[in-house]
A and B are shown apart, each in its own frame.
Chain A
Amino acid sequence: MYGFDYHRPGSVADATSALGGADDGKYLAGGQTLLATMKQRLAAPSDLVDLGGIADLKGISVSGGTVTIGATTTHAEVAASADVQGAIPSLAALAGDIGDRQVRNAGTIGGSLANNDPAADYPAAILALGATVTTNKREIAADDFIKGLFETALEEDEIITSVSFPAPTSGAYMKFKQPASRFALVGVYVAKTADGVRVAVTGATSHAHRGPRLEAALNENFSASAVDGVEIPVDHMNVDIHAGAEYRANLVKVMAKRAVEACG
């Protein structure tokens, strides 16, 4: 790891000014990607602005059928939250199956979304549940937030402050794990929402995305057998040593079916 200057501001305003004053600064949330990258000398920020000391960014609240989770809330806290378990059990289950115990106790929802790893779980959750990402500047609908490979709508100094999830009628996330990293080789989140069935897929392509073909089929007939008739395009599927395009496309269908069955 190269040397860097460390800041731990107590407010969002102090955080943005710390970043503004840095040569090549980075916000640090749970650090589960950034610190590992720095340890391998693959990233060399001049400054780290640690968001962990900002009280406003922590915590979970439920109001009017919407769960709002502060950006620096850890995966373990989301998984253990009675509020989340009560309102959106599939979201609590998703958080409880991210990485391993150490990752869940350090990694945060805001950090995961800002990083937008193509195989991360939370991007699928915000898309399937139609969540709203709130930042220090604005509110961003999930569909507008995910832009590409490790790419989001966030501006350079923009900080996610919280994420609001409207509770679906029912929902389920099914993850087929890459055997080494145990990230999602393919993960599919299916939710019955006020706007109809929403389906989000992660791990399969360069970034998490909605599954319009699956949504159409499931809006017509919400059953696992409806998924059988859906053709999953293989063109944009990731190809690596762990899975080819055909296999990933197959897993999208199988995970979608399992998620539909789990929705009940």
Chain B
Amino acid sequence: MSETGIGAAVRRKEDQRFLTGNGNYTDDINVFGQTYAAFVRSPHAHAKINGINTSAAAAADGVVAVLTGEELAADGVGPLICGWNIAGKNGVEAHNSPVHHALAMGKVNYVGDHVALVVAETQGQADSAAEMVEVDYEELPAVVGTGSALNHTTTIHEEAPANMCYDWEIGDSAATDAAFASAAHVTTVEVVNNRLIPNAMEPRACLAQYNQGTGDWTLHVTSQNPHVHRLVMSAFNGVAPEHKLRVIAPDVGGGFGSKIFIYAEEVVCTWATRKVGRPIKWTAKRSESFLSDAHGRDHVSKAELALDADGKFLALRVNTKANLGAYLSTFASAVPTYMYATLLAGTYTTPAIYCDVQGVFTNTAPVDAYRGAGRPEATYLLERTVETAAREMNIDPAEIRRRNFIQPDAFPYQTPVVHQYDIGDYGASLEKACEMADVGGFAARRSDSESRGKRRGLGYSSYIEACGIAPSAAVGALGGGVGLWESADIRFNATGSVTVMTGTHNHGQGHETAFAQVVSDKLGVPIENIEVVEGDTDKGPFGMGTYGSRSIAVGGSAIVKAADKIIEKGKKIAAHCLEAAEDDIEYDGGNFTVAGTDKVMNIAEIAFTAYVPHNYPEGVEPGLHEQAFYDPLNFSFPAGVHICEVEVDPTTGETEIVNYTAVDDFGTIINPMIVEGQVHGGIGQGVGQAMLEGANYDDNGQLVTGSYMDYTMPRADNLPNFNVGTTSTPSPLNPLGVKGAGEAGAIASPPAVINAITDACGGAMIDMPATQEKVWLACQAAE
């Protein structure tokens, strides 16, 4: 391993600019003639609009334009779309997908819904004029609760009777029922997966410009996938032809899924910039982020696990109600179905699984993918259920998992719910985690806590996730409207430095460093001579973006493929220059050598020769610039075991995580420092979900947790010093053996934390977030 190659803990190249305040975020960019946007948003969760009077606003100081949905529709701008159709039970071919106007047409369906756009010379003028837009609302009853939305007396969309988007199922119902009939024990658990608000550090923003000379649009936008933004905005919204629209996602300050989606704001501003003839800047205020970023999770589920007398799992039956919010966001429909129920086998050999999911509409913000996207919901449900079964049957929670793990010799392993796992060794992670967490010493530590009037608990989570999203044909077969391949373009410059362009996007993952390490490793170029370029549709090749822990498994594989093409061409050039047969050229670490001789050319010399081809092989094109597209063969399956230990003060419910151990199998690791950081951040978010965070709408659909005064983000003092380790079974299905690491912490940690807290508090269920009050109440009940 070189100091900068695969496996090296190289410091992140991008941190220099981030830590010195030199990042270049969308809101940092200002252009000549720029105007400012303010969106008029619905103050009601559900209301008819009987009229909009824009005349006072239009006459206000500095106002350039006030635009409504009528004008948007008149110009033929299409509604926002959902890109994944979910076919339902009983042969229903399509889910109910109500029209989602980018600016409301006659009705608003959640607090924060977009009603009108005000464009003005300054932000203050736009904000003031937005308050002067008179909207005649006729309030309607609001549908709020996930569990009570179906068959509510109020129907939100005509296109969705009973507020149902879909009634979907997976697995073998008859086999599951039969297994339950013969079970020695059945564990039943009802769980709520609490609704989360993404809270990226950088709020969403866009800057839309139209060039009247060329007829081109340029859109700077906070996006995890600028090419997808361009595709959807051209093909479906029709705001600009694809070849005339340049989408740039510059530095982006966190996404966690919330910046995958194509939102009303960027569509409306891109349309409006041409209409008003001025560039338009919009940056969300934090309160707008709370109201209108796509939220995450929000499931209400019942799980039943059938076991034999030895604690072996026989079958799992699950029903889930998933809140999709007021409209379908870009990938909303897939999250509680194919991203969720396909993971319900977990790391276990459960032979029969059946799950049905009702996706419901409510008068709340749209819900879509959030770090983990479906997989945290599956893991939480499964691991709460397994832990509960262990308690009910008096089996050690580690032992019940051991008895049910898929064994290392069973791969490839076909689960009953779509996925075929490629490789893994779940027992190895469990044993290592138990050792690192000193599970053997827990009883003594618990006694010590109790002697101080405290309670102590230990909780496990054995998780698996499907990353490296995803083989395009499989996505299409399941209703997805996109291919989820990735692209890479490696361009050698004549001086031997390299520009690497990929279709993924770096918004905290460290791509500029990790991808450079891969290229450095493969091509022998010093890492400081490699520039990774992402996020501009005019620069790099079309690519699908960053989410679902896919960038290294899919994008990294595309880079390797492109590097292989470089090496292949380099061999031809070397053979010619070194007067040898191509088959005699050996390549290693940037050097092309004639086998058995000391005749060698390094890759910089090859590059120079390729661009100055005076002495050059016949029939070979000049230049050293290769491109590759990679469509993965399967998902990748990171897995591991996390163990959380807590101490609880029963007099107040104060809960301290006193030890947290994470053992993850990510296969090959490119940069262990970046991966460890990803694990830390993911656990931080998972602890946030488990103990602190929760979006709360009141019965009228008003967001109670609309600011940091009430929405509790995890902070440093909520988190312990993490005890992080790895095991490794490299994926046989991609050239790097990688699996992806971005979401694991957020997937694994919530059940580990809740299993530990409930263990401390007598075993009864505590719903997330396990606030101090809930923990106190549980301790009271246990005493």
Contact = CB atoms under 8 A, between A and B. Distances in A.
B127 A241 contact: no
Interface in B649-702: 651-653, 692, 696
B771 A179 contact: yes
Given A241-B696, A254-B651, A181 B773 contact: no
B124 interface: yes
Given A179-B772, A241-B705, A251 B652 contact: yes
B420 interface: no
Nearest to A251: B652
Nearest to A183: B709
B447 interface: no
Contact of B712 (A1, A179, A250): A179
Interface residues of B, number: 23
Contact of B652 (A3, A41, A176, A180): A176
A250 to B, nearest CB: 7
A40 interface: yes
A242 B771 CA distance: 8
B709 A242 contact: no
A242 B773 contact: yes
A222 to B, nearest CB: 20
Contact of B708 (A180, A243, A254): A180
A2 B128 contact: yes
Given A241-B696, A250-B776, A180 B127 contact: no
A108 to B, nearest CB: 20
A1 B124 contact: yes
Contacts of A176: 652
A247 interface: yes
Contacts of A242: 710, 771, 773
A19 B127 CA distance: 28
Nearest to A186: B652
Contacts of A2: 128
A30 to B, nearest CB: 17
Contact of A241 (B128, B704, B708): B704
Interface string A220-252: 000000000000000000000111100100110
A181 B706 CA distance: 12
Give the interface size bracket for A toward B: 10 to 19
Given A40-B287, A176-B652, A254-B651, A244 B712 contact: no
A181 B287 contact: no
B711 interface: yes
A244 B780 CA distance: 15
B142 to A, nearest CB: 18
Nearest to A257: B651
B762 to A, nearest CB: 18
Given A40-B287, A241-B704, A180 B712 contact: yes
A41 B777 CA distance: 39
A181 B712 CA distance: 8
Contacts of A244: 773
Nearest to B772: A179
Contacts of A41: 127, 131
Contacts of A1: 124
B773 A180 contact: no
Interface in A73-114: none
Contacts of B712: 179-180
Nearest to A244: B773
Contacts of B131: 41
Contacts of B287: 40
Interface in A1-59: 1-3, 40-41
> Which 5 A/B pairs are nearest by Cβ-Cβ distance?
A180-B712, A179-B712, A181-B709, A247-B773, A254-B651
Given A242-B771, A243-B773, 17 more contacts: A1-B124, A41-B131, A176-B652, A179-B692, A180-B711, A181-B708, A181-B709, A181-B710, A241-B704, A241-B705, A241-B710, A244-B773, A247-B773, A247-B776, A250-B776, A254-B651, A254-B652
Interface of A: 1-3, 40-41, 176, 179-181, 241-244, 247, 250-251, 254
25 contacts: A1-B124, A2-B128, A41-B127, A41-B131, A176-B652, A179-B692, A179-B712, A179-B772, A180-B709, A180-B710, A180-B711, A180-B712, A180-B713, A181-B708, A181-B709, A181-B710, A241-B705, A241-B710, A242-B710, A242-B771, A247-B776, A247-B777, A250-B652, A251-B652, A254-B651
